[in-house]
Amino acid sequence: MIEAVVFDLDGLLLDSEHIWDEVREQLVGERGGRWHDRAQQDMMGMSAPEWSSYMHDRLGVPEPPEAINDEVVRRLEDRYREHLPLLPGAVEAVERLAGRWPLGLASSSNRPVIELALDLAELADHFQVTVSSEEVAGGKPAPDVYLEAAKRLRVDPGACAAVEDSHNGILSARSAGMCVVAVPNERFPPRPEALRQADRVIDSLDELTVGLVSDACG
């Protein structure tokens, strides 16, 4: 029996993965670093300490990771204030499920970015807890961020449904022992081996209903 639902943010509720990439790639270029084709895939799901260290160590940005993190977040927040890239059906899906279960959010975004996005979308009141992977030991695909969300919700992970879009996110939620509903991101689709770990795969957030979650997760 499902007692709570935990959402991802980037790529699921927000069409934002490419914005993170644009901001990071621009900073790498400005600072004389070396962007490469695998950078986006490598950083997807990483926590803020992980990706800022990656940008310093692997992409050659000379500033310390803490300064890299702060500058990326500042630029991303500016983009969100200009236009929040909500995906179709995101608000409605959250509202539907919030009417039935307590909701959590488990995101690789930084805490200030999560709070800004939910405030701009007017969704903050629907989430009882939010967790950033910078607040736990390991980013996705490690299960830490989902386990922490369940802990804060005071619900066993096995009684939670996770809604995810990405390869690492699906693996993270599954490793935490949660039922997983996958809504594959069109820009950065999860690989087949991750999709096979999902309990249900749907094409859009319009399909994410109370009935579907109950049927998929028992």
From 10, 15, 21, 144, the catalytic residue: 10
Q: Where are the alpha helices (DSSP H) in the chain?
A: 17-30, 39-43, 48-57, 65-82, 90-98, 111-121, 144-153, 167-175, 192-195, 210-217
10 annotated active-site:
yes
Spatial CB neighbours of 37, under 8 Å, sequence gap ≥ 6: none
70 annotated active-site:
no
- DSSP β-ladder status, 4-7 and 129-132: unpaired
Q: Catalytic site residues? A: 8, 10
